[in-house]
Amino acid sequence: MAAPALTTSAYVLHNLGLAVGFGGSLFGQAALNPSVKLIADKQERAKLVNAAWNGYNIINLLGLGTTAITWLIGRSRINGRAISADAHKLVIAKDILLGATLVSGLVNVFTGGFLAKRSMKDGVPMDSGFKAAPEAPQDVKRATSLVNGLGLFSIISMAGLIGVSTWLDNTAQKSVRWNIFARFLP
């Protein structure tokens, strides 16, 4: 029997959204943020790092938004109980991790927007993509700390989301009830 086209397409979009969010955020934290120290001018560092992150934020929002929409549509059709009690617990865990990822991502978008405007308008000195320079205004230091803390939190919650999704998929594949139900998916 062929895989249901609509369900498979949604599954692919769901996973691509997770890949975009996780991969881009990990790259930014592990490579971009530390590398801007190679730029001698502290204000140019801020301009570069904020322009890069704000450009990526749109892609990240689209990716995670696609993940959320596909999950919510699928979640409205089945809550995991049709698979097993363990699967239902995994569905709840995925709900929590997805919510945490979305909230931290949205806060980062708005806070990052504030930092980008400040860096382009006023010039903000940065020691690295992680840390405002000692001479930076206090609100910029706080916003930078918030963005970086939530960025790390977001990577961890997305990693958990990917892990729970994989565990849930494997649990579903072993379920006779799920395999019968899945035959009727579009």
Residue 4 lies in a domain: no
Residue 112 CA to residue 103 CA, distance in Å, equals 14
The answer to whether the beta carbons of residues 101 and 109 sit under 8 Å apart is no
Cross-strand pairs, 126: 132
pTM for the predicted model, two decimal places? 0.84
Instruction: State the pLDDT at residue 1.
Output: 45
**Residue predicted with more confidence, 73 or 97:** 97
Residue 32 lies in a domain: yes
Domain tally, the chain: 1
Residue 2 lies in a domain: no
Residue 6 lies in a domain: no
Question: pLDDT, tens digit, for every residue of 20-78?
Answer: 999 999 999 999 999 999 999 999 999 899 889 988 988 999 999 999 999 988 777 66
Domain assignment of residue 113, given as a range: 11-182
Residue 64 lies in a domain: yes
